[in-house]
Structure 1
Amino acid sequence: MHCATCTGTVKEALESLKGVEDARVNLATEKAAFIYDPAVLSMGEVENAVKESGYEVVRDEITLTIGDMHCATCALTIEESLKEVPGVSNARVNFALGKATVDYDASLADEAVLKKAVEDVGYRVLEVQGVMSEQMARQEELREGFRAFAVAAAFSIPIVIISMSYDFLLMDSLDVQIRNWLLLVLATPVQFYAGLRYYRGTYWALRNRRANMDTLVVLGTTAAWAYSLIVTLLPEAVASTDVYFDTSSVIITLVLAGKYLELRSRGRASDAIVKLMNLQPPQALLVKDGQEVLVEVDEVVEGDVVLVKPGERIPVDGEVVSGQSAVDESLVTGESIPREKAPGSSVTGGTVNIGGVLRVRATRVGRNTTLAQIVKLVEDAQSTKAPIERLADSVAAVFVPIVMAIASATFLFWYFIGSGLWDVGDALTFSLTTTVAVLVIACPCALGLATPTAIVVGTGTGARMGILIKNAPALETAHRLTTVIFDKTGTLTRGEPKVVRLELGSAHDDKELLLAAGSAEKGSEHVLSKAVISAAESAGLILDSPETSKTVAGEGISSVVRGKEVSVGNRRLLQRLGIQLRGLEGTMESMENEGMTVMACVSNGQVLGLIGVADTLKPEAKEAIVGLRDLDLKVAMLTGDNERTARAIANQAGIEEFRAQVLPADKAGAVKAFQEKGEVVAMVGDGINDAPALAQADIGIALGTGTDIALESGNIVLMGEDLRGVVTAIKLSKRTFAKIRQNLFWALFYNTASIPIAAGVLFPLTNWLLSPMIAAGAMAFSSVSVVTNASLLRRFKP
């Protein structure tokens, strides 16, 4: 907001909403206060109203680490609870990472309120500070899981041995009773100690009027244990003396084993963030008052000078003040060739000094370092949801109630109908067996892990290669791309144009031409201006400072130098000034056909000469274009150059389609023109003068070396300058999305096929019934297999 009109606009937008009263907007504090009825209006609707009026709502964001989540339903329960907190505009819970990311208004909610919302639905918020603390919390959760499994296994193994022994040996009724009591004693700790977490989860789920994976496990195992208890206590009340303590115990043991393996696999899936954080050394050698002092890296402040010895990691972002060395930036940018550093060079925290000793003045520390920003981007990306995940969420929301309904129908069918049509033995035993099998074989976990695990591994793998995928929707969109558009200057080319040819007009010699053009351009930051100034200075000329200068976008510059008007620019500038090239027209065309950007220098209505500037293609440009074509993608180029120059550059790069004379402000419109033809477009640029085009594209790919501009621009950021990274990014996105589809297919196919088999659909044809114990093993395997399949992305190679 900039003025009173702004506050009035926002006030009107708020008061137009039904349920809002007494809206007050303060320009000085940039805050709006109002009374509203939450039963009529949500904060999300309020935020949308402000956005539609042309302003943004600035919100706080917090990430909570959650414990005790067992399935996708748990994540949905927490998400809904957080969204109900006044002041929360959005909440995203990632089951694979065990994290909740919440956008909220700090004037209405705080961390304590958000934690309580999580705890009120039966889950823990783990107290973590930093990635190492979080690792320790996750390790403790893993140890708890293993302890529960170990207890269950210690009791289940003798239970299975005793059960099998009595099945093979003929025992009298007394021996059977002793066996049943012994099994009861052994099975009860498994059921109510090792399985306590599932009872606790079921309790909270029922309190929240939900059912989850815990509910299925509890229903299935409790039914088997309770039936066996009745047989043990009242053997005369049932037709059979068979008990199913082995079934209930083995099911819990296998489910715990599956959960333990799943937790381990999920931990490995998020290793990328830990490895990124570990790039920053914990300590730095601070140079203070001529003394070298070893301090914690958190104690370094901007302006401090640190000493970095060969083989050490640079602790902070900074500028070299003394020393020369080569620095390995591969773990940050993905580029393997070390970069030479000298006084004045910028260095990035986390990179390795592999040459001489460097003294570095800190320019960015703590959360402001490039490495910290990269970690934050990856964490944010991993917390987002791909649109395809809505399918999984929709199914997960109704999955458990449907399974419970199927289990009930299974019991009723076999007890009242099936037992009369086929020889099933004892109807109650058979019906109970099929019901338990249905309950324990169903696996909502696989469904909930299918998408987020692949996203976590995919984004982490990308970060390791210097590719930052900033959100999950970008992954999904990338696999549908049909066209990739490159900006020319600084993207396809090196971005270091140089004067390669001079053609004289009325100027007497090259020096007169360069002196006039260089003086007119002096002070300009345009890359072409810098090329002209550099050429003039290299010729030993002392440039005059212009008295006045005016830059016209897409044309050039007009200045007054020593009382004379001097203009340097392209054909558009000449046309506006009414200047004719006459004998130089053919020369200009010839230079443009060679791929030069040609500028005319005009003084007092006379063309002093032509200046040809060329920017060479990056050496890997052609290989990158071929790689994109191999992916069946169309490739196009945008440039501000004229038609001839653009065609020459496009031919060198192997690009067939291009748009010439596109002003920076028109690049977004050029991208939109491709989209209107039905193309799904990726725009590749440096994020400096093509940010609107990157935003307009379906996928914006920003090419840079870790600059703030590059990090802020686009959906995908390449930390290095190698154009082959564009191909790698698209390949990785396609591979990640393929893993998501594989996982979703497996999860849906597994549940669709296994539940009917567990319900006994094959029994009339084969006289075979699925054991509940095998069903539990299959359920445990299904979630582990999904995580393992996603983890294969760590082996991705371009």
Structure 2
Amino acid sequence: MSTIKKEIPVSGMSCAACAIAVEKTLAASPGVKQAAVNYANHLAIVEWEEENTNLEDLKKRVQSSGYDLLIENLQQEELEKMQWEAHQLLKKRTLYAGFLALPVFLIGMFWMHMPYGNYIMWGLTTPILLIFGRQFFVQAWKLAKNRQANMDTLVAMSTGIAYLYSTFNTFFPEFLIKRGLEPHVYFEAAAVILFFILLGKSLESGAKAGTSEALKKLMGLQPQELTVLEKGIAVVKNTKDVQVGEIILVRPGQKIPLDGTVTEGSSYVNESMLTGEPLPVLKEKDQKVFAGTINQEGSFNFKADQVGDQTLLSQIIERVKAAQGSKAPIQKTVDKVAGVFVPTVLAIAFLTFLIWGFSGVDDAWLKGMLAMITVLVIACPCALGLATPTAIMAAMGKGASMGILIKDAESLEKGKKIDAIVLDKTGTITEGNPQVTDVYFLDGWKEMDFPILKAMEEKSEHPLAKAIVNHFRKLPGDTRLIDFKSETGKGVMARLEHSTFRIGTLKWLKASGIQEDKSVLNWAEKALNEGASVVFVSKEDQLMGAIKISDPVKASSKEAVQAIQQLGIEVHMLTGDQEKTASWVARQLGIRNYRSETLPQDKANYIKDLKSQNKTVAMAGDGINDSEALSLADLSIAMGKGTDIAMEVAEITLVHSDLQQIPKTLQLMRKSVNIIHQNLFWAFIYNIIGIPVAAGILYPAFGFLLNPMLAGAAMALSSVSVVSNSLRLR
């Protein structure tokens, strides 16, 4: 029996409990073998038997539970547009609700006896509930039809009953006055609660709306059009229309559109977006080129070997997408607790009403109704809703002032559990920019010869030439060279007056008849053992010196690695560079665990291996080649001077690209998680103590029945304590 497996967008979900409800509905449908719904990206992955059901049937079943499957073949751009529009609408509702809630709060708390105050508050609160906070009541109704409850249910019940009771007392105050009771109103509680909950939802929506930016930028690396050679004639085609085996022309400065093999020509290609290494690579006949990399000065033809979804870039895109989709928001824990908390509170409130009603005291049913409302008001999840967002906002604000940009809430929770961190070498531990770090010349080399060396390298296309020019940038640059020649991948030669100068590889110089010098070779060998690149220089037929070029380790890296290790966290280093370079850097920093010559998939596999050892892994990197590994890590950290894609994938961005910020980040995250746990603890303590008192447990012994107004004050106090606790992070 054939099966179909498809990824389908889901609409109408507002919390993790909604995703669970949709997942249960799909899993219970006839013919469905498995279903998984992800609240973070609003996608369902469903596998079903083609003979027993179809998409239309699944859509109807999900609609019956209050949600919807978007079975139309929507493009990624259309889904992003829908998500962004929903986010903008939520932002507007939050702003309008806040604008109306402020005067309601001021009147209710300070000017409650002003003329027509109750009518003004009613007029301002009504649109907050019926228009801007309507989604909570709609969602609560959907869940109620399926015998489910979440935080939306409690928000709707508490604010709804407070609003209805206050509305009754506003228009019919004499009903309670005749019975000797004060007709209090609680419009400020309903209005302010809805505003704060909307604010939390808006922050969450904004975080999710930006998750696709990394994928869009990755997709942007592949050009939409390319030049194909058909019988020697250049023809412009759309990239997606190219077939395997076609010959493609790449001109200077162009992005390489597909994976393939060079058939003619040569050039240096910048592969840093895949390998992370700063030096362009020489590509000649029969060598591989990859989509998304950038051609430098030369031009060449290559045969397309992989097209469409088969290119290395496309595979990285899919892996990043899958890794991002596997994440869930921290609010899931709160929603799960609320799923139990809500029906419990509703049961207590209803039971309170019945017990009072049959108690036989004066105005028993009226007191029962007031006690029930008091229970719902005091149990309102304002503090519960604020516990996480306020701590997150405080942590993000503190982090931003330190140059640490925190992308979402989930990363805070994971930061406390990290026990292994993987560092990319180039651009993270090192500067990511090749520099001349030392030179060695024999006594026969004169100061006046250095400007000649600079002038020759200014004309060279070799990627190391720029480092040499920068090193000698203060020297005169108007030296006139004679018979300048460049041999790709070997070196450059020029004459000045009666002398011939060469700069390049030792092999090329020896082939040109240059005599070796033992002291120069010994110096060069030491530099090579440290993982550096060495360029040799000759004058006439004598080897005169050598230039050491390397990617220097950042001054702060060693202290940062030690600080991380002192937190009890293992440090690992990955690099696409050669073994000698990796070994040298690891020894300098005291890093025991490292791996060299790694490709993007090797880095991803290394992360998977660490996670398979039950380690909670953080990854710090700066290149496109790190994006898959960053997505797979439990906590991803990007250096601010790295690529936009690495920063989009990562949950943390270090603005100053200083490795010392990593231990500071981990300490901030640990403090933040402690604050969140404290907030949730106090939010529930208020309810554990307040609900029994609100229900009237003290009435038999002390004759005390909590006034709903005091319940509202207690609820406000719980919110103030949570916010104040969160502000300690600053």
Given that 2:505 and 2:536 are in contact with CA atoms closer than 8 Å, whether structure 1 keeps it comes out as yes
Q: How does 1:587-606 map to 2 (within 5 A)?
A: 590-591=526-527, 595=530, 597=532, 599=534
2:670 corresponds, among 730, 734, 744, to: 734
Residue 443 (1) aligns with residue 380 (2): yes
**Matched residues in 1 for 2:578 and 2:97: separation?**
63
- Which residue of 1 is the match for residue 354 of structure 2? 412
Residues 742 and 395 of structure 1, relative CA distance in 2, 3 Å threshold: same
- Which residue of 1 is the match for residue 389 of structure 2? 452
Residue 148 (1) aligns with residue 104 (2): yes
- CA displacement at 1:390 relative to structure 2: 0.7
Given that 1:687 and 1:709 are in contact with CA atoms closer than 8 Å, whether structure 2 keeps it comes out as yes
Deviations 1:508-546 (Å, cap 9, x if unpaired)?
A: 99999x989x98995343xx5644676799799969654
Given that 2:586 and 2:594 are in contact with CA atoms closer than 8 Å, whether structure 1 keeps it comes out as no
- Which residue of 2 is the match for residue 367 of structure 1? none
Residue 84 (1) aligns with residue 36 (2): no
- CA displacement at 1:600 relative to structure 2: 8.1
Q: How does 1:279-678 map to 2 (within 5 A)?
A: 387-397=329-339, 399-416=341-358, 419=359, 427-428=364-365, 430-494=367-431, 495-502=433-440, 522-525=460-463, 530-531=466-467, 546-549=486-489, 568=505, 590-591=526-527, 595=530, 597=532, 599=534, 612-639=548-575, 646=582, 648-653=584-589, 655-659=590-594, 661-665=596-600, 666-678=602-614
Q: How does 1:672-687 map to 2 (within 5 A)?
A: 672-687=608-623
Given that 1:224 and 1:436 are in contact with CA atoms closer than 8 Å, whether structure 2 keeps it comes out as no
**Matched residues in 1 for 2:37 and 2:80: separation?**
15
Residue 774 (1) aligns with residue 710 (2): yes
Look up the SS of the partner of 2:568 in the other structure: coil
**Matched residues in 2 for 1:252 and 1:407: separation?**
20
**Matched residues in 2 for 1:50 and 1:771: separation?**
51
- CA displacement at 1:482 relative to structure 2: 1.6
Given that 1:499 and 1:531 are in contact with CA atoms closer than 8 Å, whether structure 2 keeps it comes out as no
**Matched residues in 2 for 1:630 and 1:751: separation?**
40
Given that 1:701 and 1:716 are in contact with CA atoms closer than 8 Å, whether structure 2 keeps it comes out as yes
Residues 198 and 769 of structure 1, relative CA distance in 2, 3 Å threshold: farther
Q: Which moved more, 1:750-759 or 1:461-470?
A: 461-470
Q: Pairwise CA RMSD of aligned residues?
A: 6.0
Look up the SS of the partner of 2:101 in the other structure: helix
- Which residue of 2 is the match for residue 30 of structure 1? none
- CA displacement at 1:191 relative to structure 2: 8.6
**Matched residues in 1 for 2:369 and 2:526: separation?**
88
Residues 584 and 626 of structure 1, relative CA distance in 2, 3 Å threshold: same
**Matched residues in 2 for 1:659 and 1:212: separation?**
51
Residues 446 and 197 of structure 1, relative CA distance in 2, 3 Å threshold: farther
Deviations 1:174-199 (Å, cap 9, x if unpaired)?
A: xxxxxxxxxxxx89748955664587
- CA displacement at 1:703 relative to structure 2: 1.5
Given that 2:162 and 2:187 are in contact with CA atoms closer than 8 Å, whether structure 1 keeps it comes out as no
Residues 693 and 139 of structure 1, relative CA distance in 2, 3 Å threshold: closer
**TM-score, normalisation: structure 2:** 0.56
Question: 1:756 is matched by which residue type in structure 2?
Answer: P
Residues 705 and 208 of structure 1, relative CA distance in 2, 3 Å threshold: same
Question: 1:680 is matched by which residue type in structure 2?
Answer: T
**Matched residues in 2 for 1:459 and 1:569: separation?**
53
- Give the aligned length: 533
Deviations 1:11-30 (Å, cap 9, x if unpaired)?
A: xx9976699xxxxxxxxxxx
Structure 2 runs not aligned, ≥5 long: 9-25, 48-64, 145-152, 208-325, 495-501, 508-516
Q: How does 1:169-188 map to 2 (within 5 A)?
A: none
**Matched residues in 1 for 2:614 and 2:83: separation?**
48
- CA displacement at 1:387 relative to structure 2: 3.2
Question: 2:101 is matched by which residue type in structure 1?
Answer: G
Look up the SS of the partner of 2:329 in the other structure: coil
Given that 2:383 and 2:722 are in contact with CA atoms closer than 8 Å, whether structure 1 keeps it comes out as yes
- CA displacement at 1:389 relative to structure 2: 0.9
1:216 corresponds, among 125, 148, 158, to: 158
Q: Which moved more, 1:438-447 or 1:721-730?
A: 721-730
- CA displacement at 1:407 relative to structure 2: 0.9
Look up the SS of the partner of 2:412 in the other structure: helix
1:244 corresponds, among 181, 185, 205, to: 181
Residues 759 and 519 of structure 1, relative CA distance in 2, 3 Å threshold: same
Residues 743 and 545 of structure 1, relative CA distance in 2, 3 Å threshold: farther
Given that 1:703 and 1:721 are in contact with CA atoms closer than 8 Å, whether structure 2 keeps it comes out as yes
- CA displacement at 1:477 relative to structure 2: 2.4
- CA displacement at 1:671 relative to structure 2: 4.1
- Which residue of 2 is the match for residue 719 of structure 1? 655
- Which residue of 2 is the match for residue 306 of structure 1? none
**Matched residues in 1 for 2:525 and 2:80: separation?**
66
**Matched residues in 2 for 1:257 and 1:729: separation?**
33
Given that 1:500 and 1:614 are in contact with CA atoms closer than 8 Å, whether structure 2 keeps it comes out as no
Q: Percent identity?
A: 31
**Matched residues in 2 for 1:114 and 1:269: separation?**
15
Deviations 1:427-464 (Å, cap 9, x if unpaired)?
A: 44553443232122111232233323433443454445
Given that 1:641 and 1:660 are in contact with CA atoms closer than 8 Å, whether structure 2 keeps it comes out as no
Residues 747 and 660 of structure 1, relative CA distance in 2, 3 Å threshold: same
Given that 1:498 and 1:535 are in contact with CA atoms closer than 8 Å, whether structure 2 keeps it comes out as yes
**Matched residues in 2 for 1:503 and 1:415: separation?**
101
Look up the SS of the partner of 2:405 in the other structure: strand
- CA displacement at 1:409 relative to structure 2: 1.0
**Matched residues in 2 for 1:618 and 1:469: separation?**
23
- Which residue of 1 is the match for residue 267 of structure 2? none
**Matched residues in 1 for 2:102 and 2:458: separation?**
74
Look up the SS of the partner of 2:597 in the other structure: coil
Look up the SS of the partner of 2:564 in the other structure: helix
